[in-house]
A and B are shown apart, each in its own frame.
Chain A
Amino acid sequence: AQTVTQSQPEMSVQEAETVTLSCTYDTSESDYYLFWYKQPPSRQMILVIRQEAYKQQNATENRFSVNFQKAAKSFSLKISDSQLGDAAMYFCAYRSEAWDGNQFYFGTGTSLTVIP
């Protein structure tokens, strides 16, 4: 089974600054998908950004961008111009291309605090 590792249980950033959250994964597959989800205090899981492994270009969504290093099996999330509303738990997720029913694997999360 694939594993997803988030080695930073907690991070903090000053408002308007930039922060990078780390994620690594272990897989023998060549085709897969990666996601970052945000979970604010409301508990609702919100998709932040997705990346297809076959795409070399890093995905970007407004202030959120990823640094996808396929060979290193690394998928970090960069949040630019941090805002108070970015404070949340962030989960990295891997979706297998192979369908055995259990396609999704999640990391243990990084709790992000934004300091005013």
Chain B
Amino acid sequence: NAGVTQTPKFQVLKTGQSMTLQCAQDMNHNSMYWYRQDPGMGLRLIYYSASEGTTDKGEVPNGYNVSRLNKREFSLRLESAAPSQTSVYFCASSETGTHAYEQYFGPGTRLTVT
């Protein structure tokens, strides 16, 4: 049981390059999330997927796109990377419903855009 996995762990891009961050969970969770973490700003939600087949914008969606490929996988794409997108990116998943379901996080991807 791997939980939430993310690839890659580290990436350096040049301005204007594109890349896709991959995320997969094996806990059969309905909901998946992408966050970015910047110093002093905590975790900010980029996009989320409440269930397979749906995606919605979070607090900071500009410059990103997502795909919920199936129930397990939720990818984040940067079409034209900018230095402002230098950050640590976390994927998370959770169950939904009226219980104290917490989020489970992947190990993060440190992205540097030069």
Contacts and interface: CB of A to CB of B under 8 A. Distances in A.
Interface residues of A, number: 25
Contacts of A44: 105, 107-108
Nearest to B33: A104
Contact of A33 (B50, B100, B107): B100
Interface residues of B, number: 26
Contact of A109 (B42, B92, B102, B108): B42
A103 B103 CA distance: 10
Interface in A8-43: 9, 31, 33, 35, 42-43
Nearest to B38: A108
Contacts of A103: 31, 94, 96
B34 to A, nearest CB: 12
A45 B90 contact: yes
User: Counting chain B CB atoms within 10 Å of each CB, which of A35, A45, A51, A106 scores highest?
Assistant: A45
Interface in B1-52: 31, 33, 40-43, 45, 48, 50
Contacts of A101: 31, 48, 50, 54, 56
A78 interface: no
Given A43-B107, A45-B103, A47-B102, 16 more contacts: A43-B108, A45-B92, A45-B105, A91-B43, A93-B103, A95-B100, A97-B98, A101-B54, A102-B45, A102-B56, A102-B58, A104-B33, A106-B43, A108-B41, A108-B42, A109-B42
